[in-house]
Amino acid sequence: MDISIDEIDQIINQEAFGEGSLIAALEAIQARYNFLPSEAIILASDRFGVPLSQIYSVATFYNAFSLKPKGKHCLQVCMGTACHVRGSPQVLDRIQTKLGIEPGETSRDHLFTLETVNCLGACALGPIVVTDGEYSGQMNVQKADQLLKTILRAEVKA
């Protein structure tokens, strides 16, 4: 993906409303590029007038930020207690095998990033898998296969 300094600048300017909106700006950059490019971190340091070290400290603290490019599609398997007892380990296992990556990894073709997350507040519907922000409830191995197939089919068409 091309990183445009102008675009980053725009995003930062949009988010720079008042004290402490650094995190909001980083969130917007993360949402746009799926990671925090070093260019963006340097620019944010300049615009917000905070030292680089503080921006790194923030960027490495919160789970939502990544300093490495993530895949185009993000799969998150909930490993919270309620989902766990309802079978999320089996679902995770299946997705891991199908994609050939472990949680925290991105596939070679940069199509998928697999993550495990703690309770997402949808426990009544567990096990939960989130694909690009979309919740799928009551997951099982078959439904996981289906989910991956749907994404791949859309990719082939695109």
Partner 1 sequence: VAGKVHRPFSIVGGDLHLLTGNCGKGQITNITKYEESGGYSMLRKALAQPPSAIVDEVKAAGLVGRGGAAFPTGAKWEAVAASNSPIRYVVCNADEAEPGTFKDRVVIEDDPHRVIEGLAICGYAVGAHQGYIYIRGEYTLQYWILNAAVDEARQAGVLGKNILGSDFDFDIEIRRGAGAYICGEETALFESIEGKRGFPRVKPPFPTTFGLFGKPTVINNVETLINIPLILQLGSAGYRQFGTEKSPGPKLFCISGDVVHPGLYEVPFGVTFRHLLYDLAGGMRPGSQFQAALFGGAAGAFAVEQNLDVRLTFEDLRAAGLPLGSGVITVFDQSRDLLDILLRLGHFFADESCGKCYPCQLGTQRQYEILQRLADGRALPGDKERLLDIGWTMTDASLCGLGQTAASAVLSAMRLWPELFEFPNAVSSIGEQA
Q: Is 118 in the site for partner 1 (CB under 8 A)?
A: yes
CB nearer partner 1, residue 13 or residue 81: 81
Nearest to 153 by CA among 111, 96, 105: 111
> What is the rounded CA–CA span in Å between residue 29 and residue 34?
8
Quick one: what does residue 151 bind among partner 1, ligand FES, none, with the CB cut-off 5 to 8 Å set by partner type? none
Q: Is 105 in the site for partner 1 (CB under 8 A)?
A: no
Q: Is 82 in the site for ligand FES (CB under 6 A)?
A: yes
> What is the rounded CA–CA span in Å between residue 127 and residue 85?
8
Binding ligand FES by CB under 6 A: which of 55, 78, 91, 148?
78
Quick one: what does residue 19 bind among partner 1, ligand FES, none, with the CB cut-off 5 to 8 Å set by partner type? partner 1
Q: Is 61 in the site for partner 1 (CB under 8 A)?
A: yes
**Cβ neighbourhood burial of 113 (10 Å; 0-12, 13-18, 19+):** buried
Could you give the dihedral angle defined by the CA atoms of residues 53, 17, 26 and 116, in that order, rounded to the nearest 10 degrees?
A: 120
Q: Is 52 in the site for partner 1 (CB under 8 A)?
A: no
Task: Give the binding site for ligand FES (CB under 6 A).
Answer: 78, 80-83, 119-123, 126, 128
